[in-house]
Structure 1
Amino acid sequence: MKNALGKVILSCFVAGFSSVSLADFLEDSKASLYLRNMYMNRDFRQEGGRPSPREWAQGFTLRFESGFTEGPIGFGLDVMAQLGVKLDSSQEHSGTGLLPVDGRGRPEDEFGELGLTAKLRASKTVVRLGTLQPQLPVIAYNDVRLLSSTYTGGLLTSQEINGLTLNFGRLDEINLRDSSSNDDMNYSGVESKYLELAGGSYSFTPRLTASYYYARMKDIYQQNFFGLVHDLPLGDGVSLRSDLRYFNSKGDGEDRLRSASRVDRGRIDNHFFNGTWTLTVKAHKFGAGYQRLSGDGDFPFPGLDPYSTNLSMYNPFTKAETDAWQLRYEYDFSTLGIPGLTFSNKHVKAHNVKTATVDNAHEWERNTDLAYVIQNGPLKGVNFRLRNASFRASNGLKTQVDETRIIIGYNLSVW
């Protein structure tokens, strides 16, 4: 797959530059370097629990995005280079997801990835081949550790009709956030040759958008998604946002899943509804959410990030039969004369959780975020973020975790 994609990217690149002008390609190009320094401490509090991992590392992400060559069909090339460097870790304290580990559990001193993406544009339709970072309901990349994850494949995005965005794609490999290699797509440790997707979103009005997507991970599962987002203005600085999401998932070649070690995922046939309602009152945001996951098996998704409103720092709340409630509060301190400072707190409580050994477990998680972006001076744009989480599971599940993350980031425009 890697060699085939490399040849496609190279042939597109050569063909695009052999006959057309490079003016727009260069003039519309941009490059940036993102620096992320991150410390993470995960404290397992349960009796007889695992050693508590803690690591500190520095990440570098260089992105180059070209414009398109002139002509009815424009060609372009994007490049992403990522490098992660260990600052403090050990075999005893590895496992936070910041750094990859070797066969003995020892953290690597450094790791990285080089990704190339060929682009072709005709009118308002763009085809991308190579390294991809989609953010769609049926597949999304992860960017909450040192480096972000990526996928390899092809994705077509069309916006020919005003208000309508269509996406069609096939992704063959994934590079996880703490890995230097591209691996086959997989779910619950069972490999798949590819994930294919089709769908899009349509804005009926500036305040109402509906979405539908279909996805199939070959020999693992098939999935349909329906989404609706509505913004309702209620007055000066006051509005209500409704975000409703529904998935229907069924197995596709379940015999392979039944042979997997996690037998609770041996069958997929479930319905997953989740939604949030957020009331904005000037600098305040008050949110409430609910989910119902019914049927057989856990909710299936590629990578690490399900498209769920209850996705949290530690737990995604996607085990079989999980019902959950969420309360959330956010505040923007700019109204108090401190622009750039924000605070948020989220609490998720779940019950009816089912695993291979438990039928009615309980889980809850609390997330607290405090973030600040420097607004002026020579350090303008430097951002600081303190994240803290507490997760508890009971009634058959015994996990107890407290987690702290400290993140310093800066995005430097290179070109």
Structure 2
Amino acid sequence: MTMSYTHSPLFLALMGLPLIAQAGFLEDGKASLAITNYYFNSDYRQSGASQSKRDEWAQGFLLRYESGFTEGTVGFGVDAIGMLGIKLDSSPERIGTGLLSADNDGNPQDDYSELGLTAKARLSKSTLRVGTLMPKMPTVLSNESRLLPQTFRGAYVESKEFDGLTLDGGRLTQNSQRNDSSSDDMSVTGSAITGGRFTDAFDFAGARYTWNDSLTTTYNYGHLDGNYKQHIVNLVHTLPVATGRLKSDLRYARSTDDGASNVDNTALGAMFTYSLSGHAVSVAYQKMRGDTGFPYINGTDAFLVNYVMLAPDFANPDEQSWQARYSYDFAALGIPGLNFMTRYVSGDGFERGGRSAKEWERNSEIGYAFQNGMLKNLSIIWRNATYRSAGASDIDQNRLILSYTLPLI
């Protein structure tokens, strides 16, 4: 079990504040308990892989508390998160889904847990957070695709002093993976990347400007010390078309080496989505240029339009990929909470093992969230995926996720 920043000066100062100053701290607080039951099955038998199957079942508990802020020019607060993952079914032959952690002998552990605390201070429209963080920025996207989320330790400041403009920045120092209690230094992930090292310093900064209800632009910078430097630009625009709307999502990223790494990547991506009466049809194109694939912190998600379930990023050096996606929200038929999605991604133009290669992936998902009654806040999701590529393991995968969120405060 890990605990983050319980002895920070900000945290200790908060504990010493008079009770009368903590009125907003208590009154604006909120807490919830998320209970998740997760079954995960990956079948590799089509490719003759040495481990033919990864198959695990686990139960997760995620307790969150977010306080309000104390009164005064500078308001103080604290957030807390407690996580517990419990093995329901696994074995050394079937481990590796990302749901459970393993001991030094490769056996699945019966449980793992983490406790994180975050001290926070607010001045005007700017907020500083120090402690356990789950960042959601183009340069670092905390992974929440398994039983429990990935967390980081660090400091993060966000400012909204000017209308329409959001500025943020900070430093991350430690990385706790989605199936692990420990916090470790960070490293780089990405195709054909070599020469990187573990580090306790990831610096980031960004600016997001909302021009109007239809247009938002962002710029983000990230520097993983001794690994890479990265600049990301994103434009999102929504345009009414007939009785529907067209959303354009354009992304550009330039990543270069730092230290002894060989990082050299330019990533271009564009996704266009037309929505009408519950239907949404998307097409996307993604192109990699440079000597390496797209770099990102180990365990995180990548800010790419074709980052999906299994491949997962279609970001090999020089690879180009296309995506076609369809989704439907059954609220248009009077069944709110029921949703369906399917997509197909195909990539080519890259090499694997010195030979020209191609890859494709298909994903489907159907989910239902109960809207009222005793089962309100219960959701059920089934995800199915198939991946095929020459020179890599073929995968057939199913995930069944039952999640219930209980509001406590």
Match of 2:394 among 375, 394, 400: 400
What is residue 193 of structure 2 aligned with on the other side?
none
What is residue 58 of structure 1 aligned with on the other side?
59
CA distance in 2, matches of 1:3, 1:36: 24
Match of 2:273 among 271, 274, 278: 278
CA distance in 2, matches of 1:398, 1:179: 27
What is residue 347 of structure 1 aligned with on the other side?
344
Q: How does 1:14-93 map to 2 (within 5 A)?
A: 14=15, 17-18=17-18, 21-44=21-44, 45-93=46-94
Q: Deviations over 1:354-404 (max 9, x none)?
A: 45x33521111111000001122211121000000101112xx13200000
Aligned residue identity for 2:32: S
TM-score, normalised with respect to structure 2: 0.94
CA distance in 2, matches of 1:309, 1:6: 40
Residue 23 of structure 1 aligns to a residue whose secondary structure is helix
CA distance in 1, matches of 2:99, 2:10: 30
Please tell me whether the aligned partners of residues 5 and 129 of structure 1 are also in contact (alpha carbons under 8 angstroms). Answer: no
Cα displacement (A) at 1:26: 0.4
- Larger displacement relative to structure 2 (90-99 or 47-56): 47-56
What is residue 356 of structure 2 aligned with on the other side?
360
What is residue 99 of structure 1 aligned with on the other side?
100
Residue 252 of structure 2 aligns to a residue whose secondary structure is strand
TM-score, normalised with respect to structure 1: 0.93
Matched, 1:320 2:326: no
Matched, 1:387 2:383: yes
Aligned residue identity for 1:156: V
CA distance in 1, matches of 2:349, 2:392: 15
Please tell me whether the aligned partners of residues 9 and 130 of structure 1 are also in contact (alpha carbons under 8 angstroms). Answer: no
Aligned residue identity for 1:247: A
Match of 1:294 among 280, 289, 292: 289
Taking a change above 3 Å as real, the CA distance of residues 47 and 29 of structure 1, as seen in their structure-2 partners, is same
Gaps of 5+ in 2: 190-195
Residue 26 of structure 1 aligns to a residue whose secondary structure is helix
What is residue 376 of structure 1 aligned with on the other side?
372
Aligned residue identity for 2:156: L
CA distance in 2, matches of 1:359, 1:218: 33
Cα displacement (A) at 1:316: 1.7
Cα displacement (A) at 1:2: 7.7
Cα displacement (A) at 1:275: 1.5
Instruction: Compute the RMSD of aligned alpha carbons.
Output: 1.7
Q: Deviations over 1:270-290 (max 9, x none)?
A: 110112000001110000000
Taking a change above 3 Å as real, the CA distance of residues 3 and 412 of structure 1, as seen in their structure-2 partners, is closer
Aligned residue identity for 1:392: R
Percent identity between the aligned chains? 40
Taking a change above 3 Å as real, the CA distance of residues 359 and 158 of structure 1, as seen in their structure-2 partners, is farther
Q: Deviations over 1:153-209 (max 9, x none)?
A: 000000011111111110011100010001011114730121001112101111100
Please tell me whether the aligned partners of residues 185 and 200 of structure 2 are also in contact (alpha carbons under 8 angstroms). Answer: yes
Q: Deviations over 1:87-133 (max 9, x none)?
A: 11111111100000112211110001100000000000000000001
CA distance in 1, matches of 2:108, 2:115: 20
CA distance in 2, matches of 1:48, 1:162: 55
Please tell me whether the aligned partners of residues 30 and 66 of structure 1 are also in contact (alpha carbons under 8 angstroms). Answer: yes
Matched, 1:240 2:246: yes
Taking a change above 3 Å as real, the CA distance of residues 391 and 409 of structure 1, as seen in their structure-2 partners, is same
Q: Deviations over 1:308-340 (max 9, x none)?
A: 111111112222222100000001112223221
Matched, 1:161 2:162: yes
